[in-house]
Amino acid sequence: MEHLNNTLFLWINATDPTAFSLLLGRLLANGLVYVFPLYIVLNWLRADTAGRDALVQAALTAAVALLLSWAIAQAWFHPRPFVVGIGHQYMPHKPTASFPSNHMSFIWALCAGLWVHAARRRAAWILGLIGLPVAWARIYMGVHWPLDMVGALLNAALAALICLPLRHRAIPCLRALIEYPYRRIFAWPISQGWFRA
């Protein structure tokens, strides 16, 4: 498995990159991830009850995935490529555990949480595809192994399964708790019809 991991990494990792490809790699590796929380926040402003339940489920699933990712890293430390001297590193990163990828655990867990709700299933697929360039870029820039991304996908699926039983009772309660301060803080734009109550 490690041989396959190394082979795939060396195939994807940049060897003679241009300035443009490095800039693109940095933007995809570190910048594109902000699209996902932005999606949650902006959609909350216009979503109905079913849509908001899906958004809460997604956020909770992502939080659980990050907790699982931390626990896995504590239990089994797998070094990053640059730590063991394989390939090329093109952006700074601390020598923390590589497996699973936190970025992709977060992204794919959000997608998995959305997919649980029919109201956001199409969005889950689209966002999941948008996450693929992030996975590629983090390997291309030399800070992750390919199997870190597979681990992130499995981690996201596990987080979704853990949160699935919360769908019918806990998620609506949590959504109602969030809506209470939201309606007070944004009372004026809600009254103008800009945001949904």
Q: Break the chain into its structural domains and give their ranges.
A: 34-89+97-191
Is 100:151 a contact under the CB 8 Å cutoff? yes
Q: What confidence tens digit (pLDDT) does each residue in 11-68 have?
A: 999 999 999 999 999 999 999 999 999 999 999 999 999 999 999 999 999 999 999 9
Q: What is the pTM of this model?
A: 0.94
pLDDT band for position 1 (50/70/90)?
confident
Three-class DSSP category at 128: helix
pLDDT single digits (tens) 74-106: 999 999 999 999 999 999 999 999 999 999 999
- Residue 113 contacts residue 62 (beta carbons within 8 Å): yes
DSSP SS3 for 169: coil
